[in-house]
Amino acid sequence: MSVGAYSERPGAKAGENDGFSVPWSRPRPKRAVISARQVSAITILALLAAWTVSASLQLVSPVFLPSPAAVWAKFVVVARDGFVDATLLQHVTASLGRVFAALVAAIVVGVPVGLAIGISRIGRGVFDPLLEFLRPIPPLAYLPLIVIWFGIGEPSKILVISIAMLAPVALSTAAGVRGVSRERIDAARSLGATRGQVIRHVVLPSALPSILTGLRIALGAGWSTLVAAELVAATRGLGFMIQSAAQFLVTDVVVMGILVIATIAFALEFVIRRIERALVPWAGKD
């Protein structure tokens, strides 16, 4: 017996509502589609509302949780007059300089290391254990050793941040290299490409999406390491500002500094995503 026998009774008029029709034959009402951005906006607004209500009702002491208005007022004051002998722009510039210098160092070292791990057994045997040794160690664990070896100047701060960024860049590069299609490599070799040309024109472009993903992860690790790095004889920087405010229980400055770091990190994430769309529009469409 066919499905049509259940969806239409003998003698039923065309267009008549039939209670015995199969469920999938009935038109379903269209549901409103909510985008991920709308959900994110609603979540942020809900958190701000909960924060405002908690502060207005003084469910938590203002010493521990200042109101959004107090944080915004402190943001204006620090941006105009400064905090611990530097304006907010000077703190941001110092931190961005350290993070970007560390990112460049991580790229210069991490991408070749990742290539060596991905294309060479010897490279994998040499570098993979070192990366797996460094990756789970928190920056505060090797920070004293870095200070002993390199002093308390800017190089030690940049080195600590770059070490935290190195593993994500190198491992993501290695994963991208290992994921390159064998057919593309064989096709390039059949056309007479040398080993260097295969790496430059086939392996690196194919691994670029993974490398950019590693950069996004590395930036997150770098910002999380920034506060620890700026503990060492720093006079400017967002991490230094947060630590100085925490010593005197200036909680509104602490919260303001955290929000500034989050905003900058979000902006950098947005820029890298745009770069990824421009450079590798084919990513995920193979």
* CATH number for region 68-279: 1.10.3720.10
Placement of tokens 């409103």 in the chain: 32
Q: Is the pLDDT of residue 228 over 90?
A: no
Mean pLDDT of 121-129: 88
Of 105 and 3, the structure prediction assigns the larger pLDDT to 105
Question: What does the pLDDT look like over 37-79, one tens digit per residue?
Answer: 788 888 888 888 888 888 888 787 777 888 888 889 989 998 8
CA distances from 58 to 45, 64, 69, 132 (A): 20, 11, 14, 47
Domain ranges (residues) in the chain: 68-279
Helix axes of 88-119 and 238-247: crossing angle, nearest 10 degrees: 120
Q: How confident is the model at residue 109, as a pLDDT?
A: 93
Evaluate the CA torsion angle 160, 161, 165, 166 in order and state its sign.
negative
Q: How confident is the model at residue 283, as a pLDDT?
A: 63
Question: What does the pLDDT look like over 152-200, one tens digit per residue?
Answer: 888 888 999 999 999 999 999 998 888 887 888 878 888 887 887 888 8
